[in-house]
Amino acid sequence: MRKSDQPVRSSALRSVSNTAKEKPIVGLSERVYETTKLAALFDVLLGQRYPAAEILKSVSLTPEELHSPKARISLAELMAAYRNAIRLSREPHLPYRVGSSIHISAYGMYGFAILCCPDFRKAMTFAEQYHALAAPLAAIEFTEEDGLASWFIEPTAPAAIDPQLYRFITEMQIGIHISLMRDIMGSRFAPDEIRLSYPEAEDFGLPRDQVGCDIRFASPTNQILFRSSWLDEAASLGNKTTYPAIVALCDDLLDDLKLRVGTAGKVRELLLHDITNPPTFADVASSLGTNERSLRRQLQQQGLSFRSLLDELRTQMALKYLRTTKLANEEIALALGFSDAANFRRAFHRWTHKTPSEIRGE
């Protein structure tokens, strides 16, 4: 390993704000993410005439499936594709080029919500809080202080094990950030400085003429710094009416992602098969091919319990019924497996600290 491959970085990304959207815990092998980043990588490498089979080695998708809105990949597959790119291409600015080829229109509802944000500060906050929708192999954090705004970028632990992959992900994410900020703020946007936590390397790096600023190496963290005055400009494409509606859709997407991932996702799936007569904890453990003690430990590692998952699903369904239907409380109670409306009302108040009638009146 060359000395330049050794990342010099802080032990962890700066603490994420307590107001950030709760992010789902996703296993590396769980195929739950859209293919936006993989498709961009594939298109760039295919344009360099590399064989499709080599680009997608260890990825369980065909070239035809890459641009399908129904296709899903895992983080392990995405890392495999990045390693394929490192192995195949000798382009000196490949990670940045791939990242900068991704525009806001590629991100579906996540991108549309950023575009609709009524001001740029809200756009930065939204991008940070809903980053889990974008197949993240890096944690990101936005800060603003004393007239200077900053994005912090730190590849996740599995990616950070490989120093070359760490650099690839960091520089691709920098390309994505600059591309998206130019999409919403205008093509003249440029950072004031980029800081990288590793020494300059010989295999690939950031193109100074394209990022438009100085690059400092061997810094404590990976950062994109720019003047806060950029955030004061009018968001010409923002829309105060459309934005909350799109955020609600992104909430649904994030909830769906949480539903499908990890041990908790498998338990949720079993409970949803029959929420009126939900399986017992023992039945769920048996269906998952494990014992109750092991399942309880796995859920505890995710900060959850069987009861909390059942209550969470019942809460979500109750809120949906109350807000979108005219079903009586008695009917909702039966649909959620309660013996009568009174028991449902007590449970609902325990979950939400509100009554069903208060929800209907909102």
Secondary structure (H, E, C), 240-270? CCHHHHHHHHHHHHHHHHHHHCHHHHHHHHH
For 60-74, how does the pLDDT look when each residue is reduced to its tens digit (9 = 90+)? 999 999 999 989 998
Neighbours of 271 (CB within 10 A): 18
Give the pLDDT band (50/70/90) at residue 149: very high
Mean pLDDT across the stretch 309-329?
86
pLDDT in the model for residue 263 = 87
What six digits make up the tokens of 103?
């525009």
pLDDT in the model for residue 200 = 96
Secondary structure (H, E, C), 20-72? CCCCCCCCCCCCCECCHHHHHHHHHHHHCCCCHHHHCCCCCCCHHHCCCCCCC
Give the pLDDT band (50/70/90) at residue 272: confident
Alpha-carbon distance of 67 to 40, in angstroms, equals 9
pLDDT in the model for residue 319 = 83
pTM confidence score: 0.74
Alpha-carbon distance of 263 to 242, in angstroms, equals 35
pLDDT in the model for residue 21 = 60
pLDDT in the model for residue 160 = 77
Characterize the bridge pairing of strands 193-195 and 214-216: parallel
Alpha-carbon distance of 263 to 254, in angstroms, equals 17
pLDDT in the model for residue 362 = 58
Whether the Cβ atoms of residue 142 and residue 125 lie closer than 8 Å to each other: yes
Alpha-carbon distance of 142 to 121, in angstroms, equals 10
Pick the closest to residue 257 from 71, 69, 35, 33 (CA basis).
33
Give the pLDDT band (50/70/90) at residue 19: very low
| b (16+ CB within 10 A) / e for 280-310 | ebeebbeeeeeeeeebbebbeebebebeebb
What six digits make up the tokens of 44?
């760039």
Domains and CATH numbers, the chain: 3-232 (3.90.1520), 261-360 (1.10.10.60)
For 77-135, how does the pLDDT look when each residue is reduced to its tens digit (9 = 90+)? 999 999 999 999 999 999 999 999 999 999 999 999 999 999 999 999 999 999 988 87
Alpha-carbon distance of 145 to 156, in angstroms, equals 25
Alpha-carbon distance of 263 to 192, in angstroms, equals 43
Mean pLDDT across the stretch 31-43?
94
Is the pLDDT confidence value at 262 over 90? no
